[in-house]
Every structure is written in structure tokens, then in C-alpha cells.
A and B are shown apart, each in its own frame.
Chain A
Amino acid sequence: MMAETLTYESAYAELAAIAKEIESETVSVDVLAQKVKRASELITFCQTKLRSTESEVNKIIAQMEKQS
């Protein structure tokens, strides 16, 4: 699975690189399946991260508006 140290930014950078390779069709077929698998993992990671961040932010904002 994901390394513990994976951040959104590094995950996204890796994902963007894979996407670019695939978009421009410069990817080797030998590693295509592997790359797509990795991309899928990265997408899941990024979405999970985004969702948790969003819910946290919403919670904080709600609290902030309750206080003011």
C-alpha cells in the first residue's frame, strides 16, 4: 500500500507525471498496466485525502461561524 510518508503533493506530482506519459502515449506498453494500477492507487489516495480535508475544513468553518 501507500507509504506512510506519502503527501498529497508528492502523490499528485507522481500522478500528474503518469497522466502526462499516458496522455502523450509515450508510455511503454510493458509498464502500462503497472502505471495504470499505480495511477489508480494515487487517485484513491488523493481523493481520500481531499475528502477528509474537506470535511475537516467544513467542521472548522462551521465552528468559526458559530463563534463569530
Chain B
Amino acid sequence: MQDLQPIRLSQLTAAIDKALADAFRKTSVWVIADVTNHTFRPEKNYHNFDLVEKDPHSNAIIARVQSKAWGAGSTSIAHFQQTTGQRFSNNISVLVNVSVTYHPVFGLQLNLNNIDINFTLGALEQERLATLARLVDENPGFIRKEGDVFITKNKELPLNRVIQDIAVISSRTSAGWQDFKHTLENNSFGFVFRVDDYFTIVQGENNAQQFLSKLIEVFTSGKSYDAVVIIRGGGAQTDFLIFDNYLIGKAVAKFPIPVITGIGHQKNETIADLMAHTQTKTPTKAAEFIIHHNRVYEEAIRQFQKTIVIRAQQRFSAGFQALALLQHSTVHQSKEILFERNREILAIASAMVTKPKMIVYNRLNDMQQLALNLHTFGPLYLRNRRGELEHFISVYKILSPENTLRRGFAIIKSNGRITSDPAALAVGQEVRIILSDKEMGATITSKNDYDGRDFNI
């Protein structure tokens, strides 16, 4: 080596340049690497960064190359950020197309030509899925998966009928926060809300801890919020990775107050969305959801009110109708009863006026009749009695024994007694015959049946 002539440094760099050019100048390669030391100068649209490879176990850097992007490379980075929502920044893993360059002053550098979007998207999605799986695995107490749906403790909290006291976690400068407040305050139903703002930075995974402390602040405030609203929206589509953070997802899932998200993410739902009680697409929609929720309650109350009024009116009108009917019949019926009773009394009174007089008159009449009868029938009676008496005397006279004897009949006495029985008289017996005024003795000489008709008058 010592016999060789020393050369100038520029000669060496030229030799290196030539050797590298022979090996790499005409080609480009796709490499997988992580980004560090990133700086961006917008005015020049120039990215400076290191591409590194880390040992998967120790995380120690095992390869590092200074890199840059400008022109077409810078344009592809802008497109990448637009599409993935992932900022080209430190600690991201990328698949990039690079060419190797050498500069005598700046040394070896990689020039970024293109960046693969799908690789990063896939990596992000894988990371997201891994985080979700970890949330379910490590927190069985308050996160579980049923089919494609994540059921969290927060999701199972009942929403208060009215959401009025609200804690908002948002960025102070966020247009989404203004949209939310504007929509809430200008609701057309006159609903009033009490909103407490908990400002934090809601972008960049590195700010997860600060975000988390705000959530804890809401919890320890001691205020009984009806809901916690997480707002992130408007502006450029940049970094939503904070909402895919494991700790934030876990905190939201476990949070004892219903969480409503209004994260203006145009792509997938974030993990925070999946863990929250209710997710809406934008801050404005979050406000609309709350207003609608309260509106439903108000509508129900209105309906109750309407029903109560209608039912009450129905009851009143039915009552009034029944009363009117009763009043009418009461008036009518009571008058009828009085009229009827009056009529009865009058009838009796009129009978009382005439009837007793008639009774007395009738009795008097009877008396007079009786007196008249006595007067008329007294003498007549005596006369009749006398007539009857005379009749009896004449009959008696006709039937007297003297008259009978005088008409030719005789009395026969046997043993001193008058007899009319021929069987008691025998032939030869002594009898006495009385004829007119003479009594004669005789003996019975014969006794025969007599069938003469002498007495047949």
C-alpha cells in the first residue's frame, strides 16, 4: 500500500461514485423501512428523513440510510397522505421505491421515487385489527364481540331521556367543535344545553395520553354529565390514528357516562367509534343526534299532554251531558211528583167536602124511612094479626066436637075411653055411644069389614 501514490479525496469520491453508479445508477429498488428524523420544507416541497430497519426483538436500529424526496417523490407522498389519512412522518412503516445516489459532499443517499399506499393501508388496518383483538382479549369485563358488533359497557349504558349536560372533548381550534356548538345552540326547538369544553389535541398518536387525561378529568369533575361527546372533524384529512389507540379505546369502552363520537373520518370507523355508546359521522351529526334524542322525549311528553287534554275533555263533556240529562229529568220528575201529589190531595179534599155530608144525609134518610115505615106499617100489622087470629078461631069452631057430632058422627067409648080402633073392640063387648047430646049403652053384636062409600064426599 505504501508504494501507492496518495490521491485526493475528490478522486476517491469520484471512484466511489463510479462504483456505486455501476452498481445502482440505472436501477431502483423497493424497500421496506421505517421513517425517522423526518423534516419537511413546504416551500421547497422537500422531505428529508432517514430510512431505518429495526431489530424486531430489541428494537435496535440495524440499518440506516439518509433519504430525501422532492419532485415526483414529494408528489407521491402528498397523494399517500391524502389517501391513507396517515401522515408521512416518524415511526411509520413504509414500502418505498428508491434509487441510490451518491454526492461527493453529502454522501450516500436514497432518493424516494414512489411510496406504496396499499402496504401502509394494510399495515394500518392490521394494526387496527390487532388493537381491536387485544381490546376484546384483555378486557372481557367490559368489551365483547358478538358477530361483527362490539358490545361495550359504555354501549350498554342507558341514555338519559334528555341529554342536557354535556362534556365535549375537542381541539380548541377545531372547526368541528364550532359546528357542534353552533348546531346545538341554534336548534329550532329552543332546547337549552349546558356544555363544558375539555380542550386537548386530538391528532397524532403521541397525544393519546393527553387525550386520556381529559377523559379522566371529565370523570373526576364530579358533574353528572348526560353524555361525553368526542369531536374531531373538518379540516384536512390527516391523522386519526389517535382514535385507534388502545388506551383510548379501552377508556371509552369502560367509561361510565355514555360517549357519543362525532369524528369526521371519511373512511373506516375508528376504534373509539366502535367502543362508544353512539357514533355519528360528523360533529354536526353528533349535535343533531342529541337534539333528535331530546326531541323524541319532547314529542312523547307532548303526546301525553295531548292525550290527557283530549281524555279530560271527553270525560268532562260526557259528565256534562249526563248531568244535563239528570238535571232535566230531575226537574221534570220532581214537578211531576208534586203535581201528582197535589192532584191526589185535591181529590181527597174534594171527597172530604162532599162525602161526609152525603153519609149523614143518607143516614138521616134511612131514619126518616124507618119512622115512616113505623107509622105506616104499625096499624096494618095489628090488623093482620087480628085477621089471622079470627081465622084460627073459625077453623077451631069448625073442627069442634059439638059441630062434628051435630053433623051425624058418634063417639064410641070403651072402658071409659074414646076409641077409634076397631081392633080393640070384640063381639059381645059393652060400649058406650055418644050421639048429639045423649049417651047410650050398647053391646057389639057383630063385626064385619066395611067397604061402603058413605063418607066419600
A interface, CB within 8 angstroms of B: 8, 12, 15-16, 19, 22-23, 25, 27, 29, 32-33, 35-36, 39-40, 43, 46-47, 50, 53-54, 57, 61, 64, 68
User: Chain B residues near A47 (CB, 8 Å)?
Assistant: 342, 345, 349
**Cα–Cα, bound, A54→B356 (Å):** 30
A50/B341 contact (C-beta < 8 A), A22-B351, A39-B348 known: yes
Q: Are B324 and A22 in contact (CB under 8 A)?
A: no
Q: Are B352 and A40 in contact (CB under 8 A)?
A: yes
Within 8 A of A (CB), among B348-405: 348-349, 351-352, 355-356, 359-360, 362-363
Residue ranges of B at the interface with A (Cβ–Cβ < 8 Å): 324, 327, 331, 334-335, 338, 341-342, 344-345, 348-349, 351-352, 355-356, 359-360, 362-363
A36 and B355 CA atoms in complex are apart in Å by 10
How far does the alpha carbon of A41 sit from the alpha carbon of B363 in the complex, in Å? 25
Enumerate chain B residues within 8 angstroms of A22, measured Cβ to Cβ. Answer: 351-352, 355-356, 359
Q: 5 A-B residue contacts at CB 8 Å? A: A22-B352, A22-B359, A36-B356, A39-B352, A50-B345
Residue of A nearest to B335 (CB): A57
Residues in B with CB closer than 8 Å to A33 are: 356
The 6 closest A-B pairs by CB, nearest first: A36-B356, A43-B349, A19-B348, A39-B352, A22-B355, A54-B338
Main secondary structure of the interface of A (DSSP, over half): helix
B346 → chain A closest CB, angstroms: 9
- In the bound complex, CA of A57 to CA of B320 (Å): 21
CB distance from B352 to the nearest CB of A (A): 5
Q: Which residues of B contact A64 (CB under 8 A)?
A: 327, 331
Decide if A57 touches B356 in the complex (CB within 8 Å).
Answer: no
Q: When the two chains form their complex, are residues B348 and A43 in contact, meaning their CB atoms are under 8 A apart? A: yes
Please state if B352 and A25 are interface contacts (CB–CB under 8 Å). Answer: no
> 11 extra interchain contacts, Cβ-Cβ under 8 A, other than A12-B341, A32-B356, A43-B345?
A19-B351, A22-B351, A22-B352, A22-B355, A39-B348, A43-B348, A46-B341, A54-B338, A57-B335, A61-B331, A64-B331
Q: How far is the CA of A46 from the CA of B343 in the complex (A)?
A: 11
Given A29-B363, A64-B327, answer yes or no on A19-B352 (Cβ-Cβ < 8 Å): yes
CA A34 to CA B440, docked complex, whole Å: 86
CA distance A54 to B334 in the complex (A): 9
- A23 CB to closest chain B CB, in angstroms? 6
Give the residues in chain B near A61, CB-CB below 8 Å.
Answer: 331, 334
- What residue of chain A has the Cβ atom nearest to residue B347's Cβ? A19
A28 to B327, CA, bound (A): 48
Q: Which residues of A have CB within 8 Å of B348? A: 15-16, 19, 39, 43
Contact yes or no, B352 A57, CB < 8 A: no
Select from chain B the residue with minimum beta-carbon distance to A53: B338
Query: With the chains together, A63 CA to B335 CA distance in Å?
Result: 16
Given A25-B362, A40-B352, A43-B352, the answer on whether A57 and B338 have CB atoms closer than 8 Å is: yes
Are B327 and A68 touching (Cβ within 8 A)?
yes
B residues less than 8 Å from A40 (CB atoms): 352
A50 touches B342 (CB 8 A): yes
Q: Could you say which residues of chain A place their CB within 8 Å of the CB of B360?
A: 29, 32
- B337 → A minimal CB distance (Å): 9
In the bound complex, what is the Cα–Cα distance between A16 and B146 (angstroms)? 93
A68 to B363 Cα, complex, angstroms: 61
Complex CA gap A29/B366 in Å reads 13
Contacts of B335 in A (CB 8 A): 57
Give chain B nearest CB distance to A65 CB in angstroms.
Answer: 8
A22 to nearest B CB, angstroms?
A: 5
Please name all residues of chain A whose beta carbon is closer than 8 Å to the beta carbon of B338 when the two chains form the complex: 50, 53-54, 57
- Across-interface contacts of A32 in B (CB, < 8 A): 356, 359-360
B329 to chain A, nearest CB (A): 12
Q: Please, how many angstroms separate the alpha-carbon atoms of A35 and B20 in the complex?
A: 156
A29 smallest CB distance to B (angstroms): 6
Beta-carbon contact of A27 and B359 below 8 Å? yes
Residues of B within 8 A of A68 (CB): 324, 327
Q: Which residues of B contact A12 (CB under 8 A)?
A: 341, 344-345
